[in-house]
Amino acid sequence: MASTPRPQSRPTSGAEQIKATSVTSRARQVRPAAEGWDQARTPEGRPLLQFKQPRVTQPPKHWADMTQDERVAKVKELGLPAFRAKQLNTHYFTHYTSDPADMTDLPKERREELVAELFPPLLTEVKRLETDNGDTIKFLWRLFDGALVESVLMRYPGRITLCVSSQCGCGMNCPFCATGQAGLTRNMSTAEIVDQVVAANRAIARGELRGSKRAEGDPAERVTNIVFMGMGEPLANYKRVMAALRTYVEPQPNGLGMSARNITVSTVGLVPAIRKLAEEDLPVTFALSLHAPDDELRDDLIPVNDRWKVDEALDAAYEYYEKTGRRVSIEYALIKDMNDHGWRADLLARKLNARGRGWVHVNPIPLNPTPGSIWTASEKDVTAEFIDRLESAGIPATLRDTRGEEIDGACGQLAATE
């Protein structure tokens, strides 16, 4: 059942800071509620959270599921010398191919059999949508068990970003999110998470992502940045996501040779997992999808807030900064009349400043507009004031691009359907 909008009680903190002349202080309060679908609930009436996947069959083991030692052991088990593992790595991680016809340095009579054994097909392209003159592509993939997931490839000046999925569906049940509606089907395997990047690199190598300004002699283009903002809560699939991250940053040919700094792991706030991530020797960019600085609103907006409150999530984010030295991003979708009030910008700034200076950056994101819905983008002047209030308090804030909204590929819009 969708939650009934209820009147907002006057906030006890932050409200005193409302500027008499502000635009945002005049805004009304709208409460979060799922529209057009029923939010799964516990017997107590709270949105259901699913941390564990149901019992399901996992995809067949793939080369990208294995560590380098396991790969060497595997080729030996198949009666081949160890150096074949390096050749197979080069095909997959450097040339982005698992086509036996491309593997001309392997014994001809074994190629088909090796590929069938080591590179079972994981992602089958079902549909591809292009927008922004062809420099954004949304891929819809069917997995071995029929589950559908998406990834979105975006060209920006000087970088190519891939938004990847980490779970089939999601168990976090956020009322604004298309992905959350269906619940969690299963965790994606490490290789399924890696193969999204390999497939995107293959598409780029074939010239399928338009808008290239590459001159002759420039290095070949490939995905430079990864954001875990597709389907799923990456920290709820911790082990497999960590293994995929290690493969992303492992130098070629054994991995994709990417920079950890260019990889953003985003979470709605699974506090124990954030602490664990800080202990990994992986200086990825960490993003907390906060969307509200007060528990009263965030409890409804991000149901996992029931488990870990705003202050706990911010403490864990600050600890991430302290441990890694990497500045943390706070993602804040600006939703008209729901979370875009001036006092909320002030409260957010106060909470961030209370933990220190220079450790955090806020990315307000205008929600993708759904006219007539309670989930719609903040007005331009409200957005500007929200950012202005953060910056006046010394918090750097950058309005994020909502690339891909025409093809429902922006955050919170990924609900894979054919």
Closer Cβ to ligand SF4, 231 or 348, answer by number: 231
Residues 345 to 404 in contact with ligand SF4, rule: CB under 6 A = none
Instruction: Compute φ and ψ for 116, nearest 5 degrees.
Output: -60, -35
Q: Are 194 and 259 in contact (CB under 8 A)?
A: no
CA–CA gap between residue 408 and residue 410 (Å, rounded):
6
Smallest separation, CB 304 to ligand SF4 (Å): 7
DSSP 335: B
CA–CA gap between residue 278 and residue 360 (Å, rounded):
15
**Segment contacting ligand SF4 by CB under 6 A, of 168-176, 339-347, 356-364, 387-395:** 168-176
Instruction: Compute φ and ψ for 124, nearest 5 degrees.
Output: -110, 125
For ligand SF4 (CB under 6 A), the number of binding residues is 12
User: Does 177 carry a binding-site annotation?
Assistant: yes
Residue 413 binds ligand SF4 (CB under 6 A): no
How does DSSP assign 22-41, residue by residue?
-SGGG---------SSPPPB
Q: Are 277 and 241 in contact (CB under 8 A)?
A: no
User: Does 168 carry a binding-site annotation?
Assistant: no
CA–CA gap between residue 238 and residue 224 (Å, rounded):
22
Is position 117 annotated as part of the catalytic site?
Answer: no
Residue 179 binds ligand SF4 (CB under 6 A): yes
> Residues 233, 299, 331, 340: which binds ligand SF4 (CB under 6 A)?
233
DSSP 92: I
Q: Which residues contact 324 (CB under 8 A, 6 or more apart)?
A: 278, 283, 286
Is position 411 annotated as part of the catalytic site?
Answer: yes
User: Does 266 carry a binding-site annotation?
Assistant: yes
Q: Are 409 and 368 in contact (CB under 8 A)?
A: no
Smallest separation, CB 177 to ligand SF4 (Å): 3
Closer Cβ to ligand SF4, 256 or 330, answer by number: 330
User: Does 290 carry a binding-site annotation?
Assistant: yes
Residue 191 binds ligand SF4 (CB under 6 A): no
Exactly one of 163, 279, 411, 418 is catalytic; name it.
411
**Segment contacting ligand SF4 by CB under 6 A, of 74-82, 122-130, 139-147, 228-236:** 228-236
User: Does 163 carry a binding-site annotation?
Assistant: no
Give the ranges where 329-379 is alpha helix by DSSP (H): 342-355
User: Does 334 carry a binding-site annotation?
Assistant: no
Q: Is the peptide bond before 366 cis (omega within 30 degrees of 0)?
A: no
Residue 408 binds ligand SF4 (CB under 6 A): no
Residue 172 binds ligand SF4 (CB under 6 A): yes
Smallest separation, CB 377 to ligand SF4 (Å): 16
303-320 residues labelled b (16+ CB within 10 A) or e (exposed): bbbeebbbeebbbbbbbb
Sign of CA dihedral 417, 301, 272, 327: positive
Exactly one of 150, 192, 385, 405 is catalytic; name it.
150
Smallest separation, CB 65 to ligand SF4 (Å): 23
3-state secondary structure of 334: strand
> Residues 14, 32, 59, 180: which binds ligand SF4 (CB under 6 A)?
180
What is the number of H-type helices and E-type strands within the chain?
A: 10, 11
> Residues 14, 47, 364, 412: which binds ligand SF4 (CB under 6 A)?
412
How far, CA to CA in Å, does 155 sit from each of 227, 330, 351? 13, 23, 34
Closer Cβ to ligand SF4, 98 or 237, answer by number: 237
Residue 170 binds ligand SF4 (CB under 6 A): yes
Binding positions are 170, 174, 177, 232-233, 266, 289-291, 368
Catalytic positions are: 150, 411
Binding positions for S-adenosyl-L-methionine are 232-233, 266, 289-291, 368
Site residues (vs ligand SF4, CB under 6 A):
170, 172-174, 177, 179-180, 231-233, 268, 412
